[in-house]
Amino acid sequence: MALEDLLRARREKLDRIRAHGLDPYPEDAKRTASVGDALAKFSQWARAKKKITLAGRLTGLRYHGGVVFGDLKDQAGAMQLVFKRDTLGDTFELLQYFDIGDFLSAEGILFTTNAGEKTLEVREFWMLAKSLRPLPSAWHGLEDVEERFRKRSLDLLANPEVFERFLTRSKTIWLIRQFLDKEGFLEVETPMLQTLYGGAAAKPFRTQLDILRLPLYLRIAPELYLKRLLVGGFEKIYEIGRVFRNEGMDREHNPEFTMLELYWAYQDRDGLMDFCEELFTHLLGELRRRKKNQTLLYEGKELSFTRPWRRVRFTDLIKDAAGLDYDTASEDELRKRAQALDVEIKEAKTKEKVADMIYKKVAVPQLHNPTFVVDHPVAISPLAKRNGDAARRFQIVIAGWEVTNAFAELNDPLEQRARFEEQEKNRRRGDEEAHPVDEDFIEILEYGMPPAAGLGIGIDRVVALFTNAPSLKEVILFPFMKPREK
């Protein structure tokens, strides 16, 4: 049957339901238990012949004369229903107006069929919402990857593994909050609309507050506001929220994404590295139901999270990837090597930025087990303390994903001003991602900020790792998609 015919048939059933004086979209939804409750207490409730009411979506209907079997699914699970003409009387005839995809309430008694199937024998039922379109699994499937992302609701219905992935995402965020709360961190919120963006090397989205005719930016990071809170007296704080960067879309990037940022007064870089190992160990153990084996399978490769993790200098990775000593190589030599390695450099870039692009394109994909990359050039770390020409910084790379960026936070207002001014020079040379000078932030630093360590963790990337997802689009419920051409 053509799709147009299916749509017409469902509209006709809708009209017939209303002709019977029934509301196909009632406000009142009867439910006394979830499918999960019914399965967990099945033996007890079946023995007691306890009458319960389930509610959910019909995912199957099988007609056998005076008996109809159905499958009801809610968030907690699925259960078979049986409708009998002898039990339901005239109400049984209303089943002809139900389709796979409809929502209903069903009241009845639990029992086990001869085939061993846990089932609800329905004594009364009500329509909760009529589905006017067939579900993808019942019509044409939902296999086109791009269509899955555009119609995530149908993707969740058609693909149980996708639904499970997003349950894992929610649990991961909950576990992070639980871990940080137990460690004495306080969750806070900072502005998403900012008069001046900062806290990362990224191009912002611009907007405007019309009532004040004031240009605004969507935040590229919450960092500078969180540091203001350190000045204000908070010592252990974090924020989990959306961040917006006007950059490309690929396996590792989406214009909006979820970031955890954390700041810890009186902590240093190396202490924060140990803390990160503890956090990931906790997450891995909880998500894998406390298995002691600290390994994870990602895209066919086994990753070992056994502590301590490898620590390697940024310049050593550049030497391995490009065959050049970063400290002695010139900018021109790095550019030539980047070209030989097919590293595309479009905008005006400094020596440090060219090295960073080589690192991202060539070195990062080779890092499989969890690795701390340390001691990046100061010039690409304008918010980090320094040790000579190296920043007191680290990144965590796992299976080619940069999942964490962290610093011993720069709290010298004079040096911070000098770093910002150097970034401003890079901006004038064409680097759109260079950090702007934030006079207000510098003034706040002049009141004194305690020594602190801070980090950012890309939640989407962590979830991709833990759910064996090949790209961020698989772990963001509604990833940004280019509009279809009309």
- Residues 121 and 161 occupy one common structural domain: no
pLDDT for position 461: 98
| 253/286 same-domain check | yes
87 and 161 belong to one structural domain: no
- Does residue 479 form part of some domain? no
Which residues is 118 bridged to in the sheet?
112
Domain C-terminal end among 141, 166, 191 = 141
Domain CATH code at residue 220 = 3.30.930.10
In a domain, 167, yes or no: yes
92 and 166 share one domain: no
Whether residue 486 is contained in a domain is answered as no
- Domain-located, residue 211: yes
| 162 and 112 part of one domain | no
Closest-CA residue to 356 (of 402, 310, 403, 416): 402
The total of structural domains in the chain comes to 2
**Could you tell me if 118 and 36 lie in one domain?**
yes
Query: Does 244 fall in a domain?
Result: yes
In a domain, 483, yes or no: no
Q: Where are the beta strands (DSSP E) in 113-162?
A: 118-129
Instruction: Write down which residue in 88, 113, 141 finishes a domain.
Output: 141
In a domain, 195, yes or no: yes
Please indicate, yes or no, if residue 349 is contained in any of the structural domains: no
pLDDT score recorded for residue 138: 45
Last residue of some domain: 115, 141, 167?
Answer: 141
Residues 404, 440: one domain?
A: yes
Specify whether 277 is located in the same domain as 410: yes
How many CB atoms are located within 10 Å of the residue 43 CB? 11
Contacts of 353 (CB under 8 A, 6+ apart): 380, 431
To which H or E segment does residue 280 belong? Answer: helix 269-287
Residues 73 and 116 in one domain: yes
Which residue from 335, 425, 317 is spatially nearest to 377, judged by alpha carbons?
317
Structural domain boundaries enclosing 273: 156-309+369-474
- 131 and 14 together in one domain: yes
User: Taking CA 462 as the corner, what is the angle to CA 278 and CA 472, rounded to the nearest 5 degrees?
Assistant: 175
Q: What's the pLDDT at 466?
A: 96
Closest C-alpha to 135, from 119, 157, 163? 157
In this structure, the answer to whether residues 270 and 409 fall within a common structural domain is yes
User: What 3-state class would DSSP assign to 262?
Assistant: strand
Residue 232, SS3?
Answer: coil
Looking at the structure, tell me whether residues 168 and 105 fall in a common domain: no
- Across-strand partners of 243? 257
In this predicted model, what pLDDT tens digit does every residue of 133-143 receive, in sequence order?
Answer: 998 764 445 56
pLDDT along the chain (486 residues), means of 10: 91 96 95 98 98 97 96 97 97 96 98 97 98 74 76 90 96 98 98 95 95 97 98 98 93 96 98 98 88 87 95 97 93 93 81 93 96 96 95 98 98 96 87 89 98 98 97 96 83
Closest CA to 58 of 142, 117, 153, 130: 130
Report CA Rg, the chain: 28
Q: What CATH number has the domain bearing residue 18? A: 2.40.50.140
Tokens of 242: 């959306």
Q: How far apart are CA 271 and CA 46, in angstroms?
A: 55
